Amino acid sequence: MSTDVMHIGPGNSVAELKESILGHFCFDVGKSPEYATLHDWYMAVAYSVRERMMEHWVSSLERIRDKHQKIVGYLSAEFLMGPHLGNAIINLGIEQQIKEAAEQLNINLDEILQQEEEPGLGNGGLGRLAACYLDSLTTLKVPAIGYGIRYEFGIFDQMIRDGWQVEITDKWLRNGNPWEIVKPELNYGVKLGGKTQGYTDEKGGYRVKWIPEYEIRGVAYDTPVPGYKNETINLLRLWKSEATESFDFQAFDKGDYYGAVHEKVFSETISKVLYPNDVSEAGKKLRLSQQYFFVSCSLQDALRILELRGLSLDDLPDAVTFQLNDTHPSIAIAELMRLLVDEYMVDWDKAWECTRKTFAYTNHTLLPEALEKWSLPLFAHILPRHLEIIYEINSRFLSDIRNKYPGDDDRIRRMSIIDEQGSKYVRMAHLATIGSHAVNGVSALHTELLKQDVLHDFYELQPDAFFNVTNGVTPRRWIKLYNPRLASLISDRIGERWITHLETDLINLQSFADDLSFQQAWRDVKKQNKTDLAHLLKQRFGMNINPDSLFDIQVKRIHEYKRQHLNALHIIHLYNRIKQKRTDGITPRTFIFGGKAAPAYYLAKLIIKLINAIGETIDNDPEVNQFIRVVFFPDFNVKNGAHVYKAADLSEQISTAGKEASGTGNMKFSMNGALTIGTYDGANIEIMECVGEDNFFLFGLDAAEVKAIKQNGYHPYDVYNNNNDLKEVIDLIQSGAFSKGDTNIFKPLINSLLGDDPYLVLQDYQAYVDCQQRVSAAYNNEQAWTKMSILNVARMGKFSSDRSIRDYCENIWHVTPG
Ligand code: 26W
């Protein structure tokens, strides 16, 4: 279509926006404004804003059709996009006009924004990273498609009852979703189960056919992803599973009504719900089916686009690059081989070369329990043909290894895709590594550990295939949208270019670090943000916190390796000091926690209970709560993050060294003026290098020391016995002081700490408490603290996701930003 006729886009003046909102009210919401609910207004505003993306969306799609342009396909089982409306308004650059239009319509824009239910289609860091990356890809004008699953139920909503986490189903679609556009014509069949059959083709070659047990269908739901003020829109394409009609008909023909309905129910189950496990892999049949489902749809879609662009299969690696966001989509490697070899009759070697050139793999974790593996019987049951293909890939790969390292049988065992010690498994990280031309970790330390440890043999084989791309976060959402006061203060001094040029421009703030009036303005912003959070906690949960106290915040998934319980032990240490009237040097603090625990992760849930129990005890004790308070902010998610990062004085990044691959919350906090107390782990290290050691509170063992201490035999019980202060803290929990005399409830946690303490909480305890003492002292010097805070922000430019995406473009994808 000629693009001329497309110049029908609506204008962005206040009058036009107002008219558009009223128009959508009438034609889409279908109500008279008299009877409007806030949600009705939200829908009308959302449609009006979406409409303003459509013209550029269509022209951006034209670029995807340009055959000379390489497209990035970001394959991810999770996308934690956060609410769309506020972000779209910012990226389209229409905040002022929308605000005025809303005022003239007598509606409150903040209240409207609150109406949006966030699409919680992810667990934590990995899913949010995918969303930040889509923002940066689009802002950098790289044509990209995010491919994933349209879960009907995203991550559960968390409620706290009697201090315990309770999970509530996330019904994010119940009031409709104005951001997605269903594309019924974009649908693909996906086979599952059954068996394979060999046959001879017309040229006498041996071929294999897959005779599936089921076929389901994936339908595309597209959501526009706007770049920052650059008239570029990419797309997030999520697949919803449906029944294949032909199957229904077959069953109906046989008069098997129940069977047909059952088939339909089964088909729709595939995209029903997000697995709420962060880190630990579940090994469930449905999860493997989900992974295969979205990958298969996405690859078929990519091949369709290839054809649309007039290209052939030979062009695939130059036309598209697929990034595997962890191993969750790594079955794509076997699926592309299957498509090429079985369906397009490409010969194996050529298909393999094409596949390896097309894929790249990002690893997000070193924890052994998070490395995905599928038992052979389960795999064979769902994907019989893929298992054969994996065997073939493996046998060719291992024969290369045998040639290279003759007689090294142990190496063969270690590198094989199939784990054959005990029951057999397919190791997805090995498949992803072998089938990709590039493998990357997500922080400098993490990449080093990948090379030394988890993927060491692969690194030795092909050192040039390993890269580091340190994570980043988008300053559009995480500063401009969620900290508007700070954003305008920064822009007042250094202009607005930092929003898209964080690395080069933010540093200009440095020259104001000693400027007393700037410092005062800086403190005013923080104080207002803290007051906002205090109001919100009061209003929503009746909590009382004091904005004049130090806000010490830890928000992230609850996990032993992230050590929320170490934070809790420090709080009890302060509690003891206050009770013993040793309050010298105690700075008033509010400890704020937030985060979800995987529903089946008992110890994580017990940590939540402990935090709430300490909080409640302190609430009821005026002697203590004049100094400290502890609150647990329920249901931490992207939307709630809006109130949290900007209000922090201190950011807790206290994982056991070597365990947190990168962390991205650490970046959000520091960019918003919090100082970090942290271990030598993940991206903390690079943050500290950038902001300067003097502006960072480092404590505890480093990764090498953690490894050494574990090898030499770690005895947490001795640590406990040799440290009176620590002993008092642990004994107080055990005494039932926080559990109304119940001495049993926290036993599993205490037993774990005193037993083997796998995350070295006790070992790092004293260093942490001492470091917190330094924090308190530093906070009491207002000017020095403010200066550190300004320097933290000024020096965080590296951690923009724009920089990360540029790294991927240059080193891994070989794509030139537009
Ligand atoms: C199979 C179960 C499962 C589910 C999720 C295994 C592993 C995961 C993810 C890898 C968990 C995750 O979100 N990892 C986080 O990724 C972030 C983005 O790179 C990092 O910043 C975090 O350090 C890492 O924990």
Assess whether 564 and 687 both reside in one domain: yes
In a domain, 268, yes or no: yes
Residues in the chain: 818
Q: Is the pLDDT of residue 4 over 70?
A: no
pLDDT tens-digit map of 373-405? 999 999 999 999 999 999 999 999 999 999 999
In a domain, 774, yes or no: yes
Looking from the CA of residue 664, the nearest atom of ligand 1 is: 21
In a domain, 750, yes or no: no
412-434 average pLDDT score: 97
Say whether 7 is catalytic.
Answer: no
Assess whether 310 and 456 both reside in one domain: yes
Amino acid of residue 562: K
Q: How far is the CA of 624 from the centre of ligand 1 (A)?
A: 37
User: How much is the pLDDT for 5?
Assistant: 44
**Number of domains composing the chain:** 2
User: How much is the pLDDT for 258?
Assistant: 76
Assess whether 360 and 493 both reside in one domain: no
Angle at CA of residue 216, ends 212 and 222, nearest 5°: 140
Say whether 676 is catalytic.
Answer: no
pLDDT tens-digit map of 755-782? 999 999 999 999 999 999 999 999 999 9
Say whether 556 is catalytic.
Answer: yes
User: How much is the pLDDT for 80?
Assistant: 98
User: How much is the pLDDT for 252?
Assistant: 61
Phi/psi of residue 557, nearest 5 degrees = -55, 145
- Edge-to-edge strand ranges of the sheet holding 628-632: 628-632, 589-594, 550-555, 650-653, 675-680, 697-702
User: How much is the pLDDT for 7?
Assistant: 53
User: How much is the pLDDT for 2?
Assistant: 41
Given the residues 617, 664, 676, 679, select the one marked as catalytic. Answer: 664
Looking from the CA of residue 326, the nearest atom of ligand 1 is: 10
In a domain, 38, yes or no: no
Instruction: Supply the DSSP symbol for 203.
Output: T
Q: Cβ < 6 Å from ligand 1: which residues?
A: 123-126, 129, 277-279, 281, 326, 364-365, 370, 372, 442, 471, 660-664, 682
User: How much is the pLDDT for 647?
Assistant: 98
Looking from the CA of residue 362, the nearest atom of ligand 1 is: 19
- Which is more confidently placed, 8 or 230? 230
In a domain, 54, yes or no: no
Q: Is the pLDDT of residue 8 over 70?
A: no
CA dist 799 and 696 (Å) reads 16
pLDDT tens-digit map of 479-530? 999 999 999 999 999 999 999 999 999 999 999 999 999 999 999 999 999 9
Burial (0-12, 13-18, 19+ Cβ within 10 Å), 229? middle
Assess whether 464 and 492 both reside in one domain: no
In a domain, 734, yes or no: no
User: How much is the pLDDT for 255?
Assistant: 73
Those residues with Cβ within 8 angstroms of residue 283's Cβ, 6 or more apart along the chain or in another chain = 373, 374, 375, 378
142-149 average pLDDT score: 97
Q: Write out the residue range of the structural domain in which residue 668 sits.
A: 475-704+768-799
Residues 807/815, Cβ–Cβ less than 8 Å: no
Assess whether 335 and 277 both reside in one domain: yes
Q: What is the 3-state secondary structure (H, E, C) of 3-46?
A: CHHHCCCCCCCHHHHHHHHHHHHHHHHCCCHHHCCHHHHHHHHH
Say whether 668 is catalytic.
Answer: yes
Angstrom distances, CA of residue 402 to CA of 245, 396, 454, 622, 669: 49, 10, 20, 71, 49
User: How much is the pLDDT for 197?
Assistant: 97
Assess whether 447 and 555 both reside in one domain: no
In a domain, 157, yes or no: yes
Q: How far is the CA of 702 from the centre of ligand 1 (A)?
A: 21
Assess whether 156 and 251 both reside in one domain: yes
User: How much is the pLDDT for 421?
Assistant: 93
CA dist 218 and 184 (Å) reads 9
Output the domain CATH number for residue 585. Answer: 3.40.50.2000
Q: What's the mean pLDDT when you consider all of the chain?
A: 96
Say whether 527 is catalytic.
Answer: no
Residues 673/790, Cβ–Cβ less than 8 Å: yes
Residues 333/413, Cβ–Cβ less than 8 Å: no
Assess whether 633 and 685 both reside in one domain: yes
Q: In the structure, what pLDDT confidence band is assigned to residue 247 with cuts at 50, 70 and 90?
A: low
Given the residues 427, 668, 795, 806, select the one marked as catalytic. Answer: 668
User: How much is the pLDDT for 544?
Assistant: 95
Assess whether 465 and 511 both reside in one domain: no
Closest to 198 in 3D by CA, of 67, 96, 342, 336: 342
Name the closest-CA residue to atom 22, ligand 1.
663
Those residues with Cβ within 8 angstroms of residue 569's Cβ, 6 or more apart along the chain or in another chain = 726, 729, 730, 761, 765, 768
Assess whether 420 and 401 both reside in one domain: yes
Residues 147/75, Cβ–Cβ less than 8 Å: yes
pLDDT tens-digit map of 9-19? 789 999 999 99
Amino acid of residue 170: D
Q: What is the Cα 644 distance to its own chain's centre?
A: 17
Maximum C-alpha span of the chain: 90
Assess whether 615 and 700 both reside in one domain: yes
pLDDT tens-digit map of 543-568? 999 999 999 999 999 999 999 999 99
pLDDT tens-digit map of 18-44? 999 999 999 999 888 788 999 999 999
User: How much is the pLDDT for 556?
Assistant: 98
Q: Is the pLDDT of residue 1 over 70?
A: no
Provide DSSP, 149-180: E--SB-SPEEEEETTEEEEE---TTTT--TT-
Q: In the structure, what pLDDT confidence band is assigned to residue 3 with cuts at 50, 70 and 90?
A: very low
In a domain, 640, yes or no: yes
User: How much is the pLDDT for 712?
Assistant: 95
Looking from the CA of residue 287, the nearest atom of ligand 1 is: 1
Structure tokens at 644: 């949290």
Q: Is the pLDDT of residue 248 over 80?
A: no
Element of type H or E holding 574: helix 564-579
Q: How far is the CA of 408 from the centre of ligand 1 (A)?
A: 33
Assess whether 190 and 79 both reside in one domain: yes
Q: How far is the CA of 76 from the centre of ligand 1 (A)?
A: 12
Name the closest-CA residue to atom 10, ligand 1.
364
Q: How far is the CA of 2 from the centre of ligand 1 (A)?
A: 44
User: How much is the pLDDT for 6?
Assistant: 46
Outline where 339-405 has alpha helix (H). 348-358, 376-382, 384-404
User: How much is the pLDDT for 771?
Assistant: 98
pLDDT tens-digit map of 55-113? 888 888 888 888 889 999 999 999 999 999 999 999 999 999 999 999 999 999 999 99
